[in-house]
Amino acid sequence: CFLSQETYYLDNLLDQGLSGRPVSPEKIMFLLNLNKDEDLEKLFQAARDRRERYFGQKIFLYGFIYFSTWCRNDCTFCYYRRSNPESNRYRKNVDETIEAAVRLKESGVHLIDLTLGEDPFYQRQKGFDDLADLISQVKRETKLPVMISPGVVPEDALKKLAAAGADWYACYQETHSKVLFNKLRIDQSYDARLHSKKMALKAGMLVEEGLLTGVGESLSDILISLEHMSRMGARQVRVMSFVPQKGTPMEGWRTSSRVQELKVIAVMRLLFPDRLIPASLDVDGIDGLQDRIKAGANVVTSLIPPQLGFAGVAQNSKDINEGYRTVYEVIPILEQMGLTAASPGEYRSWVNR
Ligand code: SAM
Ligand code: MD0
Ligand code: SF4
């Protein structure tokens, strides 16, 4: 039977795998350029095989608590940017945040992601003592690993957050093109954001790095982000499709095709087979779970307890109060794909490796 040169090249590439040695940019570009259904299916299958080799059938589950939506920044893509006059901003108090964390724990999540805007209330103390206290209380009440997503914070504060028990620091560069960064995160320092992750690693935290697609990036921008991720030692790497937000400068943009996000997830899995890669419920809600897992993701993120008044980020209300972004809804979907939730102990031993 006749195989086209391209098919032969793809089969060979996927057979060899991409990890363990430097991969030529041409090979990554070739994969990011695939668009035939049968080629994409091969790519996703290879990503799933690689995931299985490192993680078996086990998937991790992250609870998400966006406890303050106040922010001093003006990111053009974000609903909660400072200049959006939207009126539903909130700052939950410690008891409300702990209640949400305990509910998430009881529902079976493996980690609590404490996320906030660069809220002037927390920024006012340069040492971020309130944030450190909140982390220790959430750790005490849930006994779960904690991720903190506070934006850029100074080195001393990072040390304090780590000492309070934060296991992970998440801070997404969105893009590693400085030109694009300056259009997205206006009046913010590219270098300071990148540097904060180095400081977090130095302070002993694990780091998550992430990129956005559909914000005007080129394929070679994506390639450069993947190279950065490979070098920096991020143990969790993510990609999310941009979702346009009412009241923001990018309101009129079209959201990008999800195929792009899925391809990047799969390529990340091939490049970084043993790292954590989220399937975020924050982009397409529960309906988006299956495709992302099938592309090689191994962590379900953005599980949110219903009815407590907590928002998402890219989708601030979708599927939340209905209770669809819950462990209860996720498990049967994983099982249909022959997968299962890891145990809390399995997650903890991965984190402590
Ligand atoms: N304020 C902190 C920060 O910016 O690092 C943490 C929370 S921030 C809302 C978390 C991430 O959500 C951003 O880094 C960005 O990747 C993602 N995000 C925000 N708005 C989005 C949108 N409209 N579409 C997709 N992702 C979005
Ligand atoms: C998520 N909504 O996991 C969250 C958020 C912040 N660390 C993560 C973007 O999809
Ligand atoms: Fe603030 Fe984060 Fe939104 Fe930027 S992405 S405006 S830093 S909450």
Ligand 3 mean position, distance from CA 184 (Å): 10
**Mean per-residue pLDDT over the chain, rounded:** 96
- Look at residue 1 in the predicted model and tell me its pLDDT: 61
Over the chain, what HEC string results?
CCCCHHHHHHHHHHHHCCCCCCCCHHHHHHHHCCCCHHHHHHHHHHHHHHHHHHHCCEEEEEEEEEEECCCCCCCCCCCCCCCCCCCCCCECCHHHHHHHHHHHHHHCCCEEEEEECCCHHHHCCCCCHHHHHHHHHHHHHHCCCEEEECCCCCHHHHHHHHHCCCCEEECCCECCCHHHHHHHCCCCCHHHHHHHHHHHHHCCCEEEEEEEECCCCCHHHHHHHHHHHHHHCCCEEEEEECCCCCCCCCCCCCCCCHHHHHHHHHHHHHHCCCCECEEEHHHHHHHHHHHHHHCCCCEEEEECCCCCCCCCCCCCCCCCCCCCCCHHHHHHHHHHCCCEECCHHHHHHHHCC
> What tens digit of pLDDT does each residue of 65-119 get?
999 999 999 999 999 999 999 878 999 999 999 999 999 999 999 999 999 999 9
Domains identified in the chain and CATH numbers: 5-351 (3.20.20.70)
Ligand 1 mean position, distance from CA 131 (Å): 19
pLDDT tier, 203 (very low <50, low <70, confident <90, very high otherwise): very high
Nearest atom in ligand 2 to the alpha carbon of residue 312 is: 2
Q: Specify the residue with its C-alpha closest to ligand 1, atom 18.
A: 314
Residue 71 Cβ inside 6 Å of ligand 3? The answer reads: yes
Ligand 2, pocket-test mutation among 66, 111, 113, most atoms within 8 A of CB: 113
Residues at CB less than 6 angstroms from ligand 1: 77-78, 115, 117-118, 149, 151, 171-172, 174, 210, 212, 240, 242-243, 245, 313-314
Ligand 1 mean position, distance from CA 56 (Å): 30
| Mean per-residue pLDDT, 251-277 | 95
Q: Is the pLDDT of residue 19 over 90?
A: no
| Mean per-residue pLDDT, 191-198 | 98
Q: Is the pLDDT of residue 252 over 70?
A: yes
> What tens digit of pLDDT does each residue of 281-315 get?
999 999 999 999 999 999 999 999 999 999 999 99
